[in-house]
Structure 1
Amino acid sequence: MTELTILMPCLDEAETLETCIVKALDYLKRSGVAGEVLIADNGSTDGSQDIAKGLGARVVDVPVKGYGAALGAGIANAKGRFVIMGDSDDSYDFSNLDPFIEQLRDGADLVMGNRFKGGIAKNAMPPLHRYLGNPVLSTVGRVFYRTPVGDFHCGLRGFSREAILGLHLNTPGMEFASEMVIRATLFGLDIREVPTTLKPDGRTRAPHLRSWRDGWLHLKLLLTFAPYWLFYYPGLVLFGAGLISFTALMFGPVTIGGISFDLATMILASALILTGFQMVCFHLLTRIFAVRFNLLPLSPRYERFQSRISVDNACIIGALLLLTALIAVLAGVFSWGATGFGDMVASDIVRPAALSVVCASLGVQVITTGFLSSMLQQPIRPDAPIAD
């Protein structure tokens, strides 16, 4: 039985591939681990495939371009119970994989290398990555997902093949590395970390990585799987700030520190209320969609909240808000009538008008969100016909 697959994605790595494969094979021989070296080739044209086959490595051809596509195909084709993946540019040490194997045998589902703890050689990592990109994105990942990983983008990592296949990873590019950590954390896998080293790669050509492009891809993915941070928390802040300001200004101008706030601020507060509430609704709908399609796991908090969501409740709350809007309109009309329908002071009509607009908009938003959430939760029969 094959215990370990050492997986290397490859795209024109003829300069360094032999060194990496030799180190990996030497490790398997020295350690006595029953394993294989698998090269996931992404369309090399420099003879990398022949080099790998000549050294005894197995090669799987991956026609779909991208780092994530290559690794995904490699994991699917791996024979080992465990997989240790690493770049084939000779920047990682394939001759020292014992810490990863020890943790995997101890029950870990994902074992991440940490280059900041193990040591980064001079010129091994560009300053932009070392002092900005990696620390910032790793910090965002730890805050958003409470993951124990300190080096989110370390390319040397080991994992249980079965556990990672169960996550159904599908990003084709460099962001695959982040998706693995994010989804492993969300679905409660056992994640551990071991120190590892990084040295300058042995290639004479430029790396495939594009700092700003790939950094943005990673950040987008971090936000995509964190609807609380993308929608819910910002929405609550905007809604709360708008509601407090709007309520205070409903009764007249407010002066703070010699600065007077009046109708213009009230209009801004209305926009904050509506924008914030819409973001909270987006969070709700995103969670329902993501849980349904197994992009995010169920949680006790989500299940409690979902149990309270119904079209009936949404219609009741929406109707109350629309009724409030109608009352505000009538109050404004009566106030206008009291003047003989002549000219009015702006503040006398803007305040009830603003209340009417806000309540009506919130009412419609609540009702439509209720119906859409109900649609997203409708059961689907596997054999149901597809509508034309």
Structure 2
Amino acid sequence: MCARRVKGVTTPPPDVDVVLPCLNEAEALPWVLARIPDGWRALVVDNGSTDGSAEIARALGATVVTEPHRGFGAACHAGLTAARADIVCFCDCDASLDPALLVPFVDEIRSGTADLVLGRRIARARGAWPAHARAGNLALARMVRRRTGLRLHDLGPLRAARRDRLLALGLTDRRSGYPLQMVVRAADADWRITERNVPYLPRTGRSKVTGTWRGTWQAVRDMSGVLHEASTRTEGSRR
């Protein structure tokens, strides 16, 4: 990847960019950013925070990307397009997942043993993963298995892949279906997709997506729509 020139100074791209979609995560940011591996760059994508998250992230050395269009997918894709590293990782910004755990994910991508590595969340504390959120995730994993044949157990946010290949997938969802669309389109493109177990901790603050039954099933509906779109797209390509 080419280096970037800023005011006559050439700066090399980071080893890895970590995209951190952020909406009011001021409490969690110090812990999350402290766990970013050395040589990697934290891309905090501020999605309309009102608690000073962007200012805190900048003060802690992160690169802040502003995405005014609200939506998890919108934030993730803004981070992906702003990335400069060859390998891009994604991680929630609520301290439920440790970005330091992405090191072996990146090793798999670099070695060529996988094209997309996903984190399979394993709850490590009571209340880390509410029953309704687990139920919604299980339903989606079964849908994905029927659609793609992949025996995945989770569609969690911790993941790694090469930036240029992710951009080539042409991801269009800008809501909570973005992670699912990434997996389905990668499967359709015959990517090697693997899972690694990762501890899942109680998040800091309230979830904006799966904090309630209503939020969980809205996410399931969004993702079901992505699966329907993917099936239609595949059938069309076969005609």
Is TM > 0.5 for Structure 1 vs Structure 2?
A: yes
Question: Are the equivalent residues in 1 in contact too, given 2:125–2:201 (CA < 8 A)?
Answer: yes
**Rounded Cα–Cα distance in structure 1 between residues aligned with 2:225 and 2:197:** 27
> How many residues are matched?
221
Using the size of structure 2 for normalisation, the TM-score is 0.87
Question: Are the equivalent residues in 1 in contact too, given 2:102–2:160 (CA < 8 A)?
Answer: no
Which residue of structure 1 aligns with residue 117 of structure 2?
111
Which residue of structure 1 aligns with residue 125 of structure 2?
121
Question: Are the equivalent residues in 2 in contact too, given 1:5–1:80 (CA < 8 A)?
Answer: yes
1:134 match: secondary structure: helix
Which residue of structure 2 aligns with residue 14 of structure 1?
26
**Rounded Cα–Cα distance in structure 2 between residues aligned with 1:148 and 1:109:** 16
C-alpha RMSD of matched pairs (Å): 1.6
1:97 aligns with 2:102: yes
1:219 aligns with 2:224: yes
Higher relative contact order (CA 8 A, sep 6+): 2
Give matches, 1:1-388, under 5 Å. Answer: 1-24=13-36, 27-28=37-38, 34-107=39-112, 108-116=114-122, 119-130=123-134, 132-152=135-155, 154-203=156-205, 206-209=206-209, 210-227=215-232, 287-288=235-236, 291=237, 302=238, 306=239
Q: Which structure would you say has the larger Rg?
A: 1
Amino acid at match of 1:8: L
1:219 match: secondary structure: helix
Higher share of residues assigned strand: 2
Percent identical among aligned pairs is 33
Q: Which runs of 5+ in 2 are unaligned?
A: 1-12, 210-214
**Rounded Cα–Cα distance in structure 2 between residues aligned with 1:190 and 1:182:** 12
1:137 match: secondary structure: helix
Question: Are the equivalent residues in 2 in contact too, given 1:67–1:176 (CA < 8 A)?
Answer: yes
Question: Are the equivalent residues in 2 in contact too, given 1:148–1:191 (CA < 8 A)?
Answer: no
Cα distance, 1:120 vs structure 2: 4.1
Cα separation, partners in 2 of 1:72 and 1:51, compared to 1, 3 Å: same
**Rounded Cα–Cα distance in structure 2 between residues aligned with 1:125 and 1:174:** 17
Higher share of residues assigned helix: 1
Moved over 6 A (4+): none
Q: Which runs of 5+ in 1 are unaligned?
A: 29-33, 228-282, 292-301, 307-388
